Amino acid sequence: MRSLTLAEARERAELIAVTSYAVELDLDRGDQVFGSVSSITFTCGSPGADSWVDVKARSVEGATLNGVRLDPAGIRDGRLPLPGLAADNHLVVRSTMGYSHDGQGLHRATDPADRRDYVYGHLFLDAAPTVYACFDQPDLKAPYDVTVRAPQDWVVLGNGAASQVAPGRWELATTKPLATYFVTVCAGPYVSVLAEHDGIPLGLHARASLREPLERHAGQLFEVTRQSFDYFHGLFGIRYPFGEYHQVFVPEFNAGAMENPGCVTLRDQYLFRGAATRDELLSRANTVSHEMSHMWFGDLVTMRWWDDLWLNESFAEYMSHRCLVDATEYSDAWVDSSIVRKVWGYGAERSPSTHPVAGVAALDAQSALQNFDGISYAKGAAVLRQLISFVGDDAFLDGVRAYLRDTSHGNGTLADFLGAIERASGRDLGPWSDGWLLTAGRDSVSVELVTGPSGGSAGDPLTGESAAPAVVTSARLLRVPPADHPADRPHALDVAGWRDGVEVVRVTVTVTDDRTPLGDLLGATAPAVLVPNAGDLTWARVRLDDATLDGLPAQLGRVPDAQARAVVWSALIDGVHGAEVSPSTFLDVFAATWTTEANASILARMALYAEHRIVPHFVPRVAQAAALARLADSARELLGRAEEGTTRSLAAARLLAGTSDDETLLRAWAGGSGLPHGLEDDGDFRWIVVRNLAARGLIGASAVDAYRAKDDTLQGGLNALMCRAALPAPAAKAWAWEQLTGRHGRSNYEMVHLARGLWMSPDDALVAGYVDRFFRDVPAMSGWVGEDALSRVVLAAFPKIFTAETGVRSSAALRREDLTPGVRRSLVDADAELREALASRAAFATDFRTPVS
């Protein structure tokens, strides 16, 4: 299907202005299709000119322009021609649309817990025409009147306040001007918890089978919602402009959430069915605050074209973390950002697909989607922190308020935003923008340190007292721009060091040269652990010196600064991916320090990273069992001493459940016996155990189905698919592949879970035959799977056999000319991860000649 180009969007925006939309949706036509009627009023600045409206329907039953019938047979590539426009126009399009199962458009899902259906609209990025006829580009905003016909036992929610005017008929209040991709309708037998804050009606909604976790979590969700409203009202000086505020937890959602004005949609996994770690609650709170900040930045003011999409996401990413730190209990949100969001962003920056934060030419809508990644979010947020360091927080906020005020209910650009900051600060942002926004890549930062004797005692051989530690005699910070993306980026950052748990050095500097003397460190006690960018204030590749790497097993657990520990772990991850740090070193540090880690985000995320990335990707196959055993030993140790029911206990139990080879323990836990406190009725935890049993071949398909019968829910079904695909038998792998790549109407989530399970295998030979089939079969799925969903499937299904032969096939696939943009981008990123694994295994092969013990 043809994608709207920037040139076409500009031409259409110069020609027409949309006055209003009236959309009627009939959701009571069964589970395959729905009715859609769009009535659009718009003006034309050049009467007599031609244009088109976007509509991607199963069928168009009728269309009229100013009372004159249009021929639906003229639709090409989802475009209905509009000939001979008048100065004032009224267009009506009646069509039948199809529900989707890939998370785009109007998605319909059946909850196996009660066999009831749920519908929600996710119209990002260009899916709006699959729901209603529209001028689908972000700068043609207009108010909406929406009416919905639905089964009589359904609840309807949307951007405007919904009222049931007759059995099965709902009317939504007229909205403020919205971009087409923000329009949503959520309908089904949703259950609700309602509240109010500061005159704003609030609602939380979920599937009926999730009533218990919805009600259990409602207090926390409303609390962060209220705190975020108060914070943003004070910060922006503009009240929330979209009436009611509903948050709908929907099934099979492709992203974390979507900022539809007045009706935010969120993945319903955020309603944790069982126990949740503190970092999971923090992540959910961050999502709530992130989407709310979009009500101002993105919704009230929308980018003019997709090339400024980064500005929406970078701003929301920054503001949500700022809000959590300043206004909620999650004062360690920046630590979580360091170990979750920035690790994601650094991965995107390492890939050949890296791109500047801004200024990327999005020549059409689909190409813009390819740059919707960790750079747009995490790097953009880090860049905004550097901007604040450059201009000052007061000037930054003054500029933000002016930008929001001057472009309210309209569209803005990067130039508009930077202009507002320049006027508020009096600073020229041109050179700063060139380095930070318009050039890809990240600088490396390291500290060159020279130490010498302190002049103290050399040590007493009779008493055993050690000599006084050395002192710093010379220190300078090195900044190395990437060779392929050179730029002059100033960095405001700090450098700190510790010895035996005591901070012995810290200095804050603004780096404007490639070599910056750190005179304030001279004479200080030489640190055992020295961390550039210890406060994680900038965006850079942190390179730790050899002495620090050697000292981490003994010293990292004693560093009291959680933010610095997060930076160290991030640097270790970067080093492993860059084949500069051995995965053996990572595992050594993990074994020595993980059980003492106090920060929930570091504790939980490093366990996940060690189990699901470091071991399977970077540790050679012959040493993986021993590496997993080391992780299990750490988990067992922590579980034995952690307080029951805490994040530490839960993180330890999850790691042990996923890595242990203790069949007796696993079978007991799977059967509900001897479980750690708080996990007695936790179905999600049981699936971790069942997955481990299945992947080891200790249970078969019938046992998986029996566990599925105990958890007859959407999540239970997904876990069962992954476990069946993980069974180490040729028939199980063949079944999984056929279910993944065949036309079975599988949802986006089902395909991803099948792909994950398929590559779980005790040896490469069992799945080697699917390497070639991946490059043949998965790209071909673009014929029936949406681009957003398929890009995620490609990443999950990319062969997890890390050999040169896989690399050869991957390179050949990337030379193909028939790949869609989303598939190509995902292949590029997956191929880059393969190359990292191959380089690391080659560089550190000798570390694993004897399996890790």
* 184 within 8 A of 263, measured Cβ to Cβ: yes
Q: Which of 555, 563, 571 is nearest to 534 (CA)?
A: 563
* 286 within 8 A of 313, measured Cβ to Cβ: no
**Which residues touch 705 (CB under 8 Å, ≥6 apart)?**
720
* 109 within 8 A of 118, measured Cβ to Cβ: yes
* 666 within 8 A of 689, measured Cβ to Cβ: yes
Instruction: Return the amino acid letter for 447.
Output: V
* 214 within 8 A of 221, measured Cβ to Cβ: no
Beta strands in 489-548 (DSSP E): 491-499, 502-511, 515-517, 529-532, 541-542
Sheet with 541-542, strands from edge to edge, namely 515-517, 471-480, 444-452, 541-542
Count other Cβ atoms within 10 Å, centred on residue 58: 14
Q: Which pairing describes strands 51-54 and 33-44: parallel, antiparallel, or unpaired?
A: unpaired
Beta strands in 426-501 (DSSP E): 444-452, 471-480, 491-499
Radius of gyration for the chain, computed over Cα atoms and rounded to the nearest angstrom:
28
> Is 291 labeled as catalytic in the residue annotation?
yes
Q: Please, what is the end-to-end C-alpha distance for the chain in angstroms? A: 54
Three-state SS at 122: strand
Instruction: Return the amino acid letter for 806.
Output: T
Instruction: Annotate 697-761 with DSSP letters as a single string.
Output: TSS-HHHHHHHHHH--SHHHHHHHHHHHHHSSSHHHHHHHHHHHHS-S---HHHHHHHHHHHT--
Q: Which of 52, 53, 59 is nearest to 38 (CA)?
A: 53
Residues forming a β-bridge with 166: 169
The structure tokens listed for 757 are 């399970």
Distance CA 747, CA 752 (A): 9
Catalytic member of 259, 291, 349, 836: 291
- Report, as residue numbers or ranges, the catalytic residues: 291
